[in-house]
């Protein structure tokens, strides 16, 4: 069947709630309305307002209470309405969600999931197009996941909900309406595994979340240049599957990391450094980064100049090939 | 030796009882504080003696923790002295299956809940961030980012209510913490969902050096309760029976489905903020002396003597138990080994990541190099 990413996420939540009555969902507008992107559509009708309910506008409250619920044995799945509004909850995320297992010397794990629509490209007003993945990935104790396809959205969200540790689940909002032929339920590769989405020999593109589709598009366009580009979908930002990335970089000798977030101290810097440390001898060129610029996310009418597109990616591949 | 909390002796047990008075002020319909109202407490003499024992032992272990800090066995300590009535009285109002969410200030509350004092002090010793099993005692780890634990209490209470379990969560925080957004969010959400949680604000007059007048323009933190749709109560935090009574009423209401309560216990921190603080920079000795004259442990002892519940034999017995505890603290905390540093890798995730395994191997190398040196 043809499934959008939004529908895949919705189905994953529904299937998990059917299987496990400890799964509860709450957040701003997730109940009656079904979420501003309708990811929780119909869940309150099916499971009742005890298991899928609206919260006050209170991000720290949402995440902080989820800590208490998980401590009590529930599996809370909370929604941050937008990336830019996840920041009020950062203290709870960093000080408690990420640290609880460690603070308690392994006695209390928090099986909870924090979902949020993330990234740009939908013409939104300010604070609705942020890419906060570096904040979360830098925080030890969190598992950070971002799907690039509808099938992965389903299977990774199911894995997140079954995970023994807290997962920050970044949903690329510009891909909510992306379609894929896939039969649900689908079980994909587990959390912690990157995937080769397109095999190639000339260079490696490394992307996650919203940029997976863009990287694949660039790889197709590269054929005209005579380049056979491999595309890797990182899928799990923490823990990073460096083995898969290193194997590809070793094979092609050239790697380019792509993300929407600003470059400086961004997630791409980690990949570039890690690959350089691991497979320096196999690289024919430095690991290059194709990213947003080091500035606050721009207004909607000019955002396409900020976001990495096919041309910026191909330019980087060309530069890598010049070495 | 096990120190268990209050309700050990069921109320209505055969023991004798006296009419005991507790006093607190409720937030009135007009939003101000009502006149103090008196309430009879149903505590028999056995319970009063357990309460005394916990109060006296709390003082003793706190004093010993300060000593041990001065002698280098603990890195730092945040004393509860002066706040024993607030902490012990509140915890005494809990039943076994209830949960406590304390902060760094509440070592004595944690102790009164039954957590072994040596395990409590792991935080300040620096051997681990939390030295006890939260599930064993139904006590969450003591938090240091102020007010954050209030949300955990609300969340646990919401979960218990969803499950239909008659459980109450009690969280303690300071009047300084009450200014944090998390305190408000916790109380507001508890109001919205009618979560069975009790918020006990210990107004000890200072947030480190900053007086309560810089936390609120109002005369009581309890006045925030109506804004979150819950009853508010202000109580003399140095009167253990009144704290117990006010918190017990709130706990009973929460358990019966009546939702949360905010209780402000007005008290005073007799020691410096922590052993690293210089209190002379922000308060004078006269002020401290005035509050020392209102010492909650001595006050309670006097009340019990007047009631004929406390005699020299019991005082001596509890004192001996305190000395034994203090000696055990010294033995266990002094020169305690640091533990295996490799353990820092073990509790980050249920399964260590490849990166953590690599880093652990690095530390392994450093450790064996040290061993060889
Ligand atoms: C979020 C946060 N901000 C600042 C601090 C530093 N700090 C530690 S204790 C304290 C004062 C807290 O006062 P209060 O809540 O009244 O509690 P008390 O220490 O008096 O028991 C501050 C500012 C902290 N621990 N957490």
pLDDT in tens, A62-99: 999 999 999 999 999 999 999 999 999 999 999 999 99
What is the predicted ipTM? 0.97
State whether B135 and A108 contact (CB < 8 Å): yes
Q: Which fold has domain A2-181?
A: Rossmann fold (3.40.50)
**Nearest partner of A185 among A14, A46, A38, judged by Cα:** A14
The per-residue pLDDT for range A134-152, each reduced to its tens digit, is 999 999 999 999 999 999 9
The per-residue pLDDT for range A194-224, each reduced to its tens digit, is 999 999 999 999 999 999 999 999 999 999 9
Inter-chain contacts counted by CB atoms under 8 A, chains A and B? 135
pLDDT of B338: 85
- On the question of pLDDT at B6 being above 80, the answer is no
- On the question of pLDDT at B10 being above 90, the answer is no
Distance B146 CA to ligand 1 centre (A): 5
- On the question of pLDDT at A19 being above 70, the answer is yes
pLDDT of B337: 83
Top-confidence residue, B373 or A4: A4
* CATH node for A195-322: 3.40.50.920
The per-residue pLDDT for range A221-255, each reduced to its tens digit, is 999 999 999 999 999 999 999 999 999 999 999 99
**Nearest partner of B206 among B148, B287, B86, B120, judged by Cα:** B287
Query: With bands split at pLDDT 50, 70 and 90, how would you rate the model's confidence at B4?
Result: very low
- On the question of pLDDT at A304 being above 50, the answer is yes
Going by alpha carbons, the residue nearest to atom 24 of ligand 1 is B145
Interface test with B, best of A53, A58, A61 (most B CBs within 10 A): A61
Put simply, whether B317 touches A (Cβ < 8 Å) is: no
Interface test with A, best of B100, B154, B158, B169 (most A CBs within 10 A): B158
B333 vs B330: CA distance, rounded Å = 5
Span A255-267, mean pLDDT?
Answer: 98
Ligand 1 and B102: CB distance under 6 A: no
Ligand 1 and B175: CB distance under 6 A: yes
pTM equals 0.97
Q: What would the 3-class secondary structure string for chain B be?
A: CCCCCHHHCCCCCCCCECCEEEEEEEECCCCCECCCEEEEECCEHHHHHHHHHHHHHHHHHHHHHHHHHHCCCCCCCCCCCCCHHHHHHHHHCCCCCCEEECEHHHHHHHHHCCCCHHHHCHHHHCCCCCCCCHHHHCECCCECCCCHHHHHHHHHHHHHHHHCCCCCEEEEEECCHHHCHHHHHHHHHHHHHCCCEEEEEEECCEECCEEHHHCCCCCCHHHHHHHHCCCEEEEECCCHHHHHHHHHHHHHHHHCCCCCEEEEEECCCCCCCCCCCCHHHCCCHHHHHHHHCCCHHHHHHHHHHHHCCCCHHHHHHHHHHHHHHHHHHHHHHCCCCCCCHHHHHCCCCCCCCHHHHHHHHHHHHHHHHHHHC
Q: Residues of A with catalytic annotation?
A: 128
**B319-357 b/e (C-beta count within 10 Å ≥ 16 → b):** eebbeebbebbeebbeeeeeeeeeeebebbbeebbeebe
For chain A, the average pLDDT equals: 98
State whether A56 and B192 contact (CB < 8 Å): yes
In this structure, how many other beta carbons lie within 10 angstroms of the beta carbon of residue B264? 29
Put simply, whether B148 touches A (Cβ < 8 Å) is: yes
CA separation, residue B194 to residues A69, A189, B173, B369 (Å): 15, 42, 20, 58
Domain spans in chain A, listed from the N-terminal domain onward:
2-181, 195-322
Domain spans in chain B, listed from the N-terminal domain onward:
17-334, 341-372
In this structure, how many other beta carbons lie within 10 angstroms of the beta carbon of residue A314? 21
- Same-fold call for A2-181 versus A195-322: yes
- On the question of pLDDT at B5 being above 70, the answer is no
Going by alpha carbons, the residue nearest to atom 12 of ligand 1 is B207
Architecture of domain B17-334: 3-Layer(aba) Sandwich (3.40)
State which ligand 1 atom lies nearest to the alpha carbon of B269. Answer: 20
Distance A67 CA to ligand 1 centre (A): 21
The per-residue pLDDT for range B141-195, each reduced to its tens digit, is 999 999 999 999 999 999 999 999 999 999 999 999 999 999 999 999 999 999 9
Query: With bands split at pLDDT 50, 70 and 90, how would you rate the model's confidence at B9?
Result: very low
pLDDT of B13: 45
Span A259-275, mean pLDDT?
Answer: 98
Tokens of A225: 């240049």
State whether B189 and A61 contact (CB < 8 Å): yes
Ligand 1 and B203: CB distance under 6 A: no
Question: What are the strands of the beta sheet with A52-54, ordered from one edge?
Answer: A52-54, A23-27, A75-79, A113-118, A167-172, A143-145, A236-238
Query: With bands split at pLDDT 50, 70 and 90, how would you rate the model's confidence at B225?
Result: very high
pLDDT of B371: 84
For chain B, the average pLDDT equals: 95
pLDDT of B129: 96
Query: With bands split at pLDDT 50, 70 and 90, how would you rate the model's confidence at B372?
Result: confident
Which residues in chain A have Cβ-Cβ distances shorter than 8 Å to B347? 101-102, 104-106
Ligand 1 and B207: CB distance under 6 A: yes
**Nearest partner of B98 among B170, B8, B11, judged by Cα:** B170
**Nearest partner of A233 among A250, A262, A210, A261, judged by Cα:** A210
The per-residue pLDDT for range A173-187, each reduced to its tens digit, is 999 999 999 999 999
Percent of chain A predicted with pLDDT > 90: 100
Going by alpha carbons, the residue nearest to atom 19 of ligand 1 is B207
Ligand 1 and B174: CB distance under 6 A: yes
pLDDT of B11: 42
**Nearest partner of A271 among A135, A141, A134, A105, judged by Cα:** A134
pLDDT of B16: 84
pLDDT of B8: 42
Cβ partners under 8 Å of residue B346, min gap 6: A106, B352
Find out whether B120 and B131 touch, Cβ atoms under 8 Å: yes
CA of A92: which chain B residue's CA is closest?
B148
């Amino acid at each position: 069947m043809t499934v959008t990413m939004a529908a895949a996420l919705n189905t994953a939540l529904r299937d998990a709630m059917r299987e496990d009555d400890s799964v509860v969902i709450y957040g701003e507008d997730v109940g009656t309305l079904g979420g501003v992107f309708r990811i929780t559509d119909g869940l309150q009708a099916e499971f009742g307002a005890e298991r899928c309910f609206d919260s006050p506008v209170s991000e720290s409250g949402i995440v902080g209470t989820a800590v208490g619920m998980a401590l009590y044995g529930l599996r809370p799945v909370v929604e941050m309405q937008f990336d830019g509004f996840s920041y009020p909850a950062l203290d709870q995320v960093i000080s408690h969600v990420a640290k609880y297992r460690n603070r308690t010397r392994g006695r209390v794990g928090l099986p909870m999931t924090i979902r949020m629509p993330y990234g740009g490209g939908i013409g939104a007003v300010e604070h609705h197009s942020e890419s906060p993945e570096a904040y979360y990935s830098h925080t030890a104790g969190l598992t950070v996941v971002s799907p690039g396809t509808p099938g992965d959205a389903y299977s990774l969200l199911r894995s997140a909900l079954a995970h023994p540790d807290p997962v920050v689940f970044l949903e690329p909002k510009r891909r909510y309406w992306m379609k894929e032929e896939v039969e649900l339920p689908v079980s994909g590769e587990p959390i912690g595994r990157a995937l080769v989405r397109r095999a190639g020999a000339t260079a490696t593109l490394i992307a996650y979340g919203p940029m997976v589709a863009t990287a694949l598009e660039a790889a197709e366009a590269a054929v005209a240049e005579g380049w056979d580009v491999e595309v890797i979908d990182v899928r799990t930002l923490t823990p990073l599957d460096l083995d898969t990335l290193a194997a590809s970089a070793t094979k092609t000798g050239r790697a380019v990391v792509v993300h929407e977030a600003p470059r400086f101290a961004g997630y791409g810097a980690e990949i570039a450094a890690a690959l350089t440390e691991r497979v320096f001898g196999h690289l024919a060129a430095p690991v290059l980064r194709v990213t947003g610029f080091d500035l606050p996310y721009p207004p909607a009418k000019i955002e396409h100049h900020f976001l990495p597109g096919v041309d910026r990616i191909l330019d980087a591949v060309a530069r890598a090939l010049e070495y | 030796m096990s120190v268990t909390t209050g309700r050990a002796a069921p109320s209505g047990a055969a023991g004798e009882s006296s009419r005991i008075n507790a006093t607190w002020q409720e937030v009135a319909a007009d939003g101000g504080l009502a006149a103090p109202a008196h309430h009879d407490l149903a505590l028999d003499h056995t319970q009063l003696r357990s309460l005394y024992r916990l109060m006296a032992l709390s003082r003793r272990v706190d004093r010993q923790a300060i000593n041990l800090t001065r002698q280098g066995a603990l890195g730092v300590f945040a004393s509860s002295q002066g706040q024993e009535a607030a902490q012990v009285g509140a915890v005494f109002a809990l039943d076994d299956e209830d949960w406590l969410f304390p902060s760094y200030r509440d070592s004595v509350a944690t102790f009164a809940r039954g957590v072994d004092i040596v395990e409590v002090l792991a935080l300040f010793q620096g051997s681990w961030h939390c030295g006890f099993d939260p599930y064993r005692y139904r006590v969450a780890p003591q938090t240091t980012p102020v007010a954050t634990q209030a949300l955990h209490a609300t969340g646990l209470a919401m979960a218990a209510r969803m499950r239909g379990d008659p459980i109450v969560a009690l969280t303690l925080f300071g009047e300084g913490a009450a200014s944090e957004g998390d305190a408000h969010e916790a109380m507001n959400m508890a109001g919205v969902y009618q979560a069975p949680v009790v918020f006990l604000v210990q107004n000890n007059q200072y947030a480190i050096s900053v007086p309560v007048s810089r936390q609120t323009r109002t005369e009581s933190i309890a006045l925030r309760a109506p804004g979150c749709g819950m009853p508010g109560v202000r109580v003399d935090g140095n009167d253990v029976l009144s704290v117990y009574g006010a918190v017990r009423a709130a706990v009973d209401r929460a358990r019966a489905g009546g939702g949360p309560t905010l209780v402000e216990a007005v008290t005073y921190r007799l020691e410096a903020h922590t052993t690293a603080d210089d209190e002379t920079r922000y308060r004078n000795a006269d002020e401290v002396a005035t509050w020392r004259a209102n010492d909650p442990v001595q006050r309670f002892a006097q009340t019990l003597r007047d009631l004929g519940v406390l005699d020299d034999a019991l005082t001596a017995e509890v004192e001996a138990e305190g000395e034994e505890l203090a000696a055990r603290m010294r033995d266990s905390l002094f020169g305690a080994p640091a533990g295996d540093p490799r353990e820092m890798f073990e509790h980050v995730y249920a399964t260590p990541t490849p990166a953590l395994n690599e880093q652990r191997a690095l530390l392994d190398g450093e450790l064996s190099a040290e061993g060889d040196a």
